[in-house]
Structure 1
Amino acid sequence: MVRVTTPAHPPHLASEEERVARQAPDRRTALRSGVALAAGTLTAGTLATGCSTAGAVAHPATPPRTTPPAASASPLTPTPHRFPTHPAEITHGPRTHPQVALTFHGQGDPAIAKTLLGEAEQAGARVTVLTVGTWLDEHPDMARRILDGGHDLGNHTLRHLDINAMPEAEADAEIRGCAERLKRLTGSIGTWFRPSRTPRASPLVERLARNAGYPHTLSYDVDSLDFTSPGAPAITRKIIGEIRNGSVVSLHFGYADTVAALPAVLEELHRRGLHAVTTTELLS
């Protein structure tokens, strides 16, 4: 298994490698080749970090801004959903149905992101991707790639800083900055908002997100801890040991360990009769 060394204090999300396009006789062998290829393209600067306030890395105050291309003619991402029977902050879905939501923090090497998306799609799974705005500036094509795969696309702030620690105006700019990029690329602000560098939004951030058009903030009840690069077996054990009906799992683009763990996770979900669906489907 290929391990990727991340910075001492990672930023947060990341992405995957061009999916394993070659169909080798052994699916696992093909995937391992894709993992090795993805890991070989990674550098410390492209890795993402988990949503934890510990070890937060300062980002440039004024990140470079680029103008993403206009949205394509394919269907636009749906607008945020309101679920009156669910709280403003959602940590899991109904425990009565055999469905779960795998949610990915979207930032990092797009090659790894594409590999993860492709592996999920090959297994018939759909996921939720919460993207960082500056990542969309650098890789605007990823918004369409995510939607074309049938996945949910959402907002994970503009620069992935500790949003709960920000003054109101700055926190508002983080939420709206990412929303503007999503709107420009897809015609919608995205289906969900997840606060950055924290599993839970403060009351202020919750209110700002609601004012920006997101009725709910999306948290999770299973943290894979993949951003710590503990190895694929550890990630698999953590998820499988805690997941159950209605669970929302936190995962990240940008880590080879996550790519290596995903097939075993999906196989175990299938064995248990659990279906990986988008968060919108989970709550509908």
Structure 2
Amino acid sequence: MTTIDRRAALRTGAGLVAAGGLSAACTPSGAVPHPEHARAPGTPRTAGTPRTAGTQNPAGTPGAPGTPTSPAPSSTPGGPAAPRRFPGRPPQIEHGPRTRPRVALTFHGNGDPGTAHALLAEAERHGARLTVLAVGTWLDEHPALARRVLDGGHDLGNHTQHHVGVNDLPEREAYAEITDCAHRLTRLTGSIGTWFRPSRAARASPLVERLARRAGYPHVLSYDVDSLDFTEPGAAAVTRTVLDRIQPGSIVSLHFGYADTVAALPAVLEELDRRGLTAVTATELIR
């Protein structure tokens, strides 16, 4: 075990025990895919099949078969942040301004909730704010995590309902993937969330980009640093990958559900501090 691994393990071990431990990660067999093509940790290969007829409204009542319903209003008075339009920024945002000493650590919200609690707690100990793009079925299973993210001062956004290859779906099904997750977020928090990120892809297809905009998200949140934490390369490798590539304005893709990510985060945050880089939400990074 390297020095980084030992230090990270000592700092995060107690939190993981308190949170209930970590689940085994799952990735497809064969060649290493893009991180968004990995299955969520602990889910079977058959999970996550989208519905092909009907969606649900915010109250959970089925809509007319084959007719995607529209999201509820994106915010309530005094409620959490809703999506913002950033004039001059492209429809798909890969990084923020390079002239300010800020970065955004973004996490795909899925998998064992114990890792989510551990990562949020570690970030808050360092005064860092994260961006969590949540999968709708994950919110269904762990609804309290939506408020936990927001109460910690972090961004909470949409990562589709079933974490399927949204770019490969027909229009009706792709739109349902976006709006169904938006409905979950609205029901739990009063907002459709601050950002949309496509599942199993770094960037949205032109169709999905248009559908996200129709659903109320002016921008798609991409990234310029891929941690590759889903490949479970070890905490030291995750740390090295992030720190070798990160620069002012970077948006980093990470995941809940993987022990390597939990173990790597303390060293990543310590080195960001040493470099004078502050981890802020994606909204804070772009504005």
Query: Shorter-chain TM-score: what band?
Result: 0.7 to 0.9
Q: Is the 8 A contact 1:76 1:188 kept in 2?
A: yes
Q: Tell me which residue corresponds to 1:118.
A: 121
Q: CA deviation at 1:67?
A: 7.5
* 1:52 and 2:40 correspond: no
> Paired residue for 2:254?
251
Give the direction of change, closer, same or farther, for the CA distance of 1:30–1:273 in structure 2 (3 Å limit): closer
> 1:153 offset after TM fit, Å?
0.3
Farther off after superposition, 53-62 or 91-100: 53-62
Task: Give runs of ≥4 in structure 1 deviating > 4 Å.
Answer: 35-41, 54-58, 65-68
Equivalent pairs counted in the alignment come to 254
> CA 1:189–1:41 in structure 2 vs 1: closer, same or farther (change >3 Å)?
same
Give the partner amino acid of 1:42: S
The answer to whether the 8 Å contact 1:105/1:251 transfers is yes
TM-score (norm 2): 0.81
1:76 positional shift: 2.4
5+ residue gaps, structure 1 = 2-25
TM-score by length of 1: 0.82
CA distance in 2, matches of 1:127, 1:44: 22
- Distance in 2, Cα, partners of 1:33 & 1:182: 30
Q: Which amino acid aligns with 1:142?
A: L
Q: Does 1:214 align with 2:217?
A: yes
Q: Does the residue aligned with 1:135 lie in a helix, a strand or coil? A: helix
**For the structure 1 residues 103 and 208, does the alpha-carbon distance in structure 2 shift closer, same or farther, using more than 3 Å as the test?**
same
Q: Aligned partners of 2:77 and 2:16: how far apart in 1?
A: 30
Residues 88/74 of structure 1: CA separation in 2 closer, same or farther (3 Å cut): closer
In structure 1, what is the equivalent of residue 15 of structure 2? 34
State how far apart, in whole Å, the 2-side matches of 1:227 and 1:74 are. 38
- Once the two structures are TM-superposed, the CA of residue 99 in structure 1 deviates from its matched residue by 0.1
SS at match of 2:104: strand
Alignment of 1:111-190 (within 5 A): 111-190=114-193
Q: Aligned partners of 2:279, 2:217: CA distance in 1, in Å?
A: 23
| 1:231 and 2:234 are equivalent in the alignment | yes
Structure 2 residue matching 1:208: 3-state secondary structure = helix
Query: Gaps spanning 5+ residues in structure 2: where?
Result: 2-6, 27-32, 61-75
Q: Please state if 1:273 is matched with 2:276.
A: yes
User: Which of these residues, 237, 248, 266, is aligned with residue 263 of structure 1?
Assistant: 266
The one-letter amino acid of 1:118's match is A
Superposition RMSD in Å: 2.9
> Tell me, what secondary structure is at the counterpart of 1:52?
helix
